[in-house]
Amino acid sequence: MTERNRRPVVVGVDGTAESRLALQWAIDEARNRMLPLRIVVSHEYPAPVQGVDDLETDGENTDANAAASIARDQLDPDMVLTPAVLADRPARALLDQAMDAELLVVGSRSRSAVASVVLGSVSSAVAHQARCPVIVARASKEHSPAGPRVIVGVDGSECSERAVAFAFEEAAGRGLPLVAVHCWRLEHPDEAQWDADAFSRRRDEHMLWLSESLAGFRSKFPDVVVSTSVLEGRPAVLLSESSRGAELVVVGSRGRGGLERMLLGSVAESLLHHAHCSVAVVRAAAR
């Protein structure tokens, strides 16, 4: 077994509906990738109060055991499953447990009245700081004529290349079609005055670039049905709209280490709050 094949899928659970969705995502990931699954339950205890610690610990053990039972029912008997109950801040516990992870899965809260996702503090912290790819799982409440699919943003950067590879793995593992979205912008204000033919030629150049950039991935994943979308406009807005009815939207993030590791690009940040489905944030390789 290679070093990568020993890296676990890590998921944070706390008994909420959101964490149950994250657990199911993580189970699917572990099964599809044939990786160990590590279930993390954590709570930072306040100053000890007689009898309270035992009650809270019992509750967390119950959450961990319930999650492990659900996972065991769906995973092959020979797959490694490890529940971890920790006395620590949930975000810090998840980040520590994910140091050797292939993937970290967390849940998000429901949408607010202003149609953006209320990203919990734990989800936000791990999305900003984890070294491995992070999936923030949320239910897709919208339907699309295109049906369930994986969306990936493509811009030619290193982190985008890693995001594309991750998206192809997800599409292959889940048996879903993949839509590669490339967004471009008019570089100069006077370009808005171009005639339709000039605009079309520019768009065709981007379509050709996108097709060529996906050629190697298409060869590696021949069973994945791939379509492309080349759109002019703001990537964050267009990817969010493209995510309606999708299963997952995948985006790269350039943060690598130190302070950079705590920063997300504007597109990733926006999608975490405004995408209509689960979001995967894939970082560039550590240097």
**What are the boundaries of each domain within the chain?**
1-139, 142-287
CATH number, domain 1-139, options 3.40.50.620, 3.40.50.970, 1.10.10.10, 3.40.800.10: 3.40.50.620
The amino acid sitting at 103 is L
Closest CA to 155 of 267, 245, 249: 267
Query: Which DSSP symbol is given to 47?
Result: S
Q: How many residues does the chain have?
A: 287
Look up the pTM and report it: 0.86
Q: According to the model, what pLDDT value does residue 263 have?
A: 53
Please give the class, per CATH, of domain 142-287. alpha beta
Angstrom distance (rounded) from CA 228 to CA 224: 13
Nearest alpha carbon to residue 271 among 232, 218, 235, 233: 235
At 201 the pLDDT is 85
Query: Where do the DSSP E strands lie in the chain?
Result: 9-12, 37-42, 81-86, 103-107, 134-137, 150-153, 178-184, 226-232, 248-253, 278-283
The pLDDT assigned to 113 comes to: 40
Specify the long-range contacts of residues 260-269, CB closer than 8 Å, at least 24 apart: 261/128, 261/129, 261/131, 262/128, 262/129, 263/128, 264/127, 264/128, 266/236, 267/153, 267/235, 267/236, 267/239, 268/127
Residue-level pLDDT at 261: 46
Residue 55 confidence (pLDDT): 38
Question: What pLDDT score does 271 carry?
Answer: 94
**What is the per-residue pLDDT for 226?**
98
For residue 137, list its beta bridge partners: 107
The pLDDT profile of the chain, 287 residues, written as one tens digit per residue, is: 455 568 999 999 988 889 999 999 999 999 999 999 999 998 765 544 444 444 345 556 788 889 999 999 999 999 999 999 998 899 999 999 999 999 999 998 654 444 454 567 888 899 999 999 999 999 877 777 778 999 999 999 999 999 999 999 999 999 999 999 999 987 665 655 566 777 788 889 999 999 999 999 999 999 999 999 999 999 999 999 999 999 999 999 875 444 444 456 789 999 999 999 999 999 876 54
